[in-house]
Structure 1
Amino acid sequence: MKPSFRQSTEISHASAEPSAWVVRFVPLVPTGSPVLDLACGSGRHSRLFLQRGHPVLAVDRDLSRLGDLAAHPRLEALACDLEDGSVPAFFKRRFGAIVVTNYLHRPLFGLLAAALAPGGILLYETFAKGNERFGKPSNPAFLLDKGELLRAFRDKLKVIAYEDMVVEAPRPAALQRLCAQSEPAD
């Protein structure tokens, strides 16, 4: 089986704590709105939004890492191969927030922007070129080019914040981060 981006990064970059980038922008998410945690892994961001009263759709190829979180009454857990070439039906829904961390599958960019409800927030954080010096992922196919995340969404969403940088914590990594918002309803 060909290793996926998720498999290559889970061990070396996994953390039980939510991303500081995601936590920073949580207050922008409309109260009580549904949240999509895409490639959710162990559900660290699902847990954050559930604690804030949001219903959450947690999607990953393997849901076994959700543990006790899978039984939460406001959590819908969906096992889904996001890279099989099909468009999952959940992209027809609209979300007050979509969270994607440590995952990159470029064909999903347009679907993510379209799945935001009016005024919804996209929180995206993943690895960029330069990360190969810190370990996995090191395959260029799984690393964003300079400014790529910004270019992917700036014509579709209002960019609130963007960073392309090297961080030292929780582990050294080259990252791009984006917080963007869909147009509010009139």
Structure 2
Amino acid sequence: MPHHSDASPWVRRFAPLVPRGGPVLDVACGEGRHCRLFRDLGHPVTGIDRDIADTRADGAELIGADMETDAGWPLDGRQFAGIIVTNYLWRPLLPAIRAALAAGGVLIYETFAHGNEAFGPPRNPDFLLASGELLQACSDLTIVAYEHGIRDGRAVIQRICAVNGPGPFALS
């Protein structure tokens, strides 16, 4: 199996918690690095982004949609065993993302936080998480792991892994 060194270490760390064979959604999938990771782990994968022209994820369902417009979330009613979000924040989508997480499903979220403006983009507070914001957004889930801090001396990030159901869970 490919090494997937381009996948986020945070996502790779918690990928085994996603129920085996369950569908996975990659929100703002970009070039498809996490679509490929989960596809290779045996999951049916859906990737969504504003522009999917550069997304490389053979075998994945790819949806081109601007989730920040009035059209909004195109996946109403669909449920996923895993939802991955990296380097993306659009607060109005948080309830839709949460609603799409199936019972027993795993949310793996990692993006920029306040303080990142000292390191580079994004600098707009609309795209930077406040301290504890992911914890608050996931308050009805079982928190497996949470971190907030400076990554590699280059960015301030906040990340969480949370499960829609009771714990505890076997950690690798």
State TM-score, norm by structure 2: 0.90
Secondary structure of 2:92's counterpart equals helix
Residues 73-112 of structure 1 aligned to structure 2 (within 5 Å) = 73=59, 75-112=60-97
Structure 2 stretches of 5 or more lacking a match?
167-172
Aligned residues: 163
Following superposition, the deviation at residue 97 of structure 1 comes to 0.2
> Do 1:57 and 1:78's aligned partners in 2 also have CA atoms closer than 8 Å?
yes
Kept in 1: contact 2:73–2:96 (CA 8 A):
no
Following superposition of structure 1 onto structure 2, how do residues 1-186 of structure 1 map, counting pairs within 5 Å? Answer: 17-67=6-56, 69=57, 72-73=58-59, 75-154=60-139, 156-168=140-152, 172-183=154-165
Cα RMSD (Å): 1.6
| 2: CA distance, partners of 1:83 / 1:89 | 11
Distance apart, 1:82 and its partner CA = 0.6
Aligned residue for 1:176, secondary structure, equals strand
The runs of 5 or more residues in structure 1 that have no matched partner are 1-15
Deviation string 1:100-129 (CA, Å, 9 cap, x unpaired) is 000000011111111111100000000001
Distance in 1, Cα, partners of 2:87 & 2:8? 10
CA contact (8 A) 1:120 1:182 kept: yes
Identity %, equivalent residues: 51
Q: Match for 1:48: what amino acid?
A: L
1:155-185 Cα deviation digits (max 9, x unpaired): x2111111111110xx71100001001126x
In 2, distance between residues paired with 1:57 and 1:125?
18
